[in-house]
Amino acid sequence: MEFKTSNGRIEIDPSRDGNSFTNEGMVLHTGENLWLEIEGRKHKAVATKVGDVWWVHVLGHTLQFEVVEAGASSADDEGGLTAPMPGKILEVHVTEGQSVASGDILMVMEAMKMEHKIVASSDGKVESIHFKEGDQVPQGAELLTLSE
């Protein structure tokens, strides 16, 4: 089984015995409640699925794992710069065709009354700009496209 995390893709293939799953010396007992057993100590876990993502709370941490459908391509998180929050574009610092360096401020947007800078993550050229000053943008909207 394959999952996508913030640090890339991970595969796991736990062994199953009835409602219990084992991997890396840990045993998870499933049922109405989730119990994780590590070296004879039990830890309660809570998990729920939102869309394709499993949200897991265990050992005081909250983790997210996106289910990857078998055969899906892995090139889906490259390229565009997206709005981290719904908000309003305050400033556009670049024009189409302009070359930018990693770390350059491309746009400034406002969300929840705070200003956020949209910064180039790599060197490149501004291929297209999708919003102008004053535009409202939804979360996840691609703001502009950079090419290598």
Partner 1 sequence: MLKRTLVANRGEIACRILRACREAGIEGVAIYAENDSGTLFTELADIAVQLEGEGLAETYLNQQQILQIALETGCDSVHPGFGFLSERADFAQAVMDSGLTWIGPSPEAITKMGDKMTARITMKEAGVPVIPGEEVTGGLEEVLQIAPSVGYPLLLKATAGGGGKGMRAVHKQEDLESEARAAMREALNAFGDDRIYVERLLTGSRHIEIQVLADKYGKTIHLGERECSIQRRHQKVFEESPSVALDAELREAMGEAACDAARAVAYEGAGTVEFLVTPKGEFFFLEMNTRIQVEHPVTEMVTGVDLVREQLRIAGGEAMSCGPLNMRGHAIEVRLYAEDPSNNFLPAIGVLKKFIAPTGPGVRLDTGVREGDAVTPDYDPMLAKLIVWAPSREEALQRMGRALDEFVVLGCTTNVRFLRELCTNRDVVDGWTTTDMIDRLWPDGWSPDQSGKILDAGLLIAAACESTNHGKTVTSSVGGSVIPSPFSTISRRYP
Instruction: Check residue 86 for interaction with partner 1 (CB under 8 A).
Output: yes
Contacts (CB under 8 A) with partner 1, residues 42-61: 43, 45-50, 54-61
Distances (CA, A) of 114 to 88, 108, 109, 117: 10, 10, 8, 10
Instruction: Check residue 145 for interaction with partner 1 (CB under 8 A).
Output: no
List the strands of the sheet with 20-23, edge to edge: 8-11, 2-5, 61-67, 53-58, 41-50, 34-38, 26-29, 20-23, 15-17
54: part of which helix (H) or strand (E)?
Answer: strand 53-58
Q: Which of 87, 109, 126, 131 binds partner 1 (CB under 8 A)?
A: 87
What DSSP character marks residue 127? E
Each residue 109-138 as x (binds partner 1 by CB under 8 A) or -, in order, gives -xxxxxxx----------------------
Site residues (vs partner 1, CB under 8 A): 1, 3, 5, 10, 12-14, 16, 19, 21, 23-24, 26, 28, 30, 32, 34, 36, 38, 43, 45-50, 54-63, 65, 67, 84-87, 90, 110-116, 139
